[in-house]
Structures are given as structure tokens and as C-alpha cells.
Structure 1
Amino acid sequence: MAITSTAYTALLQYCAEAKALSSPHRATIRGAVVLTGSQQQCIAQVLSALWGKAMPCPLVLDLKPQHGYQSRVHKDGFGGEQYAEWLAVGCADVAVVGTDKRGRPHLIVNGINDGRGTIYDIMVPVRSTTEGVVYIDDVIPLGLPAKKRA
């Protein structure tokens, strides 16, 4: 299922509010991303290895959009709707679980061609705490350069 339709609508609303205020605010969109069973199992295995103890991963994750909005919209110059679209693609059922150099999990969708003339990957880091809280807070279009700021 990936990002629920309700969560996607809330994310678009968040982006509109952040743009109107010229600054993103802290927010949590509860129950935003529904993982597949395979994604859930793989993330739990990676988290357990990362933390050195059993770390279950819930089937449904919250989304905290502030960090990603600051990075992709404010810093990199992309629009809020593009940010939301990338999150939807990066959290899709077809996303596979991978790890970064430090062993932290992420979802990744390879070979995105959205007409910009560049083929790139969309990576969604999966964050966690020692208390077992697992959530999404960013999306990274790997291989797509930031827009030039005016």
C-alpha cells in the first residue's frame, strides 16, 4: 500500500502550510506508510543488526516531514509537491530495503525517469531510536542535482 491516501493529502497540506509560513514546522503524520511484509521483515533484521539487539519494525510507520522538507525544498530548491511525490514513490511496495555505509536501513527505488533528462534513484532513510521507534523523515533523489537557487 505504501503511503496512505490520507497521509499523502496530509503531506500536501503540510507542504502548503510550510510554504505559506516560509518555514516548515514540526509535525507527525501518524500511520502514514504501510510496509509490505517483506519490507517490514528486512528492516527489522537490519535494525537488529544495527542496534545489536532484537528490534521489531512496525508494519505501519509515521512520517515526520520537517527534516525532508527543509532538505529538499529549502536547501535543494525543489517544490513541496515534488517532495511529496518522491516520498510516495520511495515508499512504494516496489521499494527494496538496503543499508548505508553505517548499516542504517533505507527503502530505495532505482531507475526513476520523470522527464528531467536524468535517471536517478529515490532513497528513503528509515530512522530508528534505541527505544524501538521507527519512522520516515526524509527522501533523497540520488543522482538528481539540486536546482539552482535564484
Structure 2
Amino acid sequence: MEDRRRANPDTTLGYLERLPALVLLARLPVPVLAVERDGAVVHANPAFERMLGYPADQVQDRTIGDLLQTSSPGRSAVAELRESAGKLVALEHRDGSTVRALVSKSVLERRDDPVTLVCFHDVTEQLWDGLSARDF
């Protein structure tokens, strides 16, 4: 029996259906991060690695607690990440500086999803541009 919901593989929709999710995430120009419930980074796309100054594939050796400057010590960094949807967060750049970014709501929203998958929009430069000389 043929599954009628699948697109013809020779169409553009069929092509998209066959693409693995990690290939799509890697190609996105937007920083994307996937984190397990225990805080381990499962996936960081190249745009996220560039945003924080890491060479390819070195963010996966970290936890979200290593990257996110949490406002409440002892609180779960994953919970803080999820609760920060639509808000500004502080991330630690590889050189120790702070990167300010807006974080999206998790793409994976169900309670039983084992991973939090969020996008970031780096606003560090815009914040610096908004400061005037009197602020120093």
C-alpha cells in the first residue's frame, strides 16, 4: 500500500522531505543550538559556532551552562533557556567576552521532547551602537 501523504520524490517538496534535519540546520545562516535535558549540547550549527568564536564541532563538547551566563546560580540552564524565549540572554564568547542575543522559543515544544532547539539573533553590535559617549 502506498503512502499518499508523501510527495513525489522527483518534485521540490519530495527533495525537501528527503533532506536530513541536521543538513538543514547546518545550512541555516541563523545560529541554532540543540540542548538535551541535562544541559549537554547536542548540536550547534556553524552560525552558532561563529557567533561565539568556536572552531567547527567544539561547542558539542560543552554544556549550556558553559555558554549561557545564567542569572540565577543553581537554576537549570536548560529551564532558563526555555523561559528566555523572546528575551535577551547573555552568552559567553570563547574569548571571555559577552554576546547578547535574543533567543527564540524552542522549536520542539512538547514536554516529552528530549531536546530544546532554539535560534539566536546576535544583537551585541546594535547594543554597542546604541550607547553614546556619555555612557562611558
Give yes or no for TM over 0.5. Answer: no
Rg: which structure is higher?
Answer: 2
Larger relative contact order, structure 1 or 2 (CA cutoff 8 Å, min sep 6):
1
* Structure with greater strand percent: 1
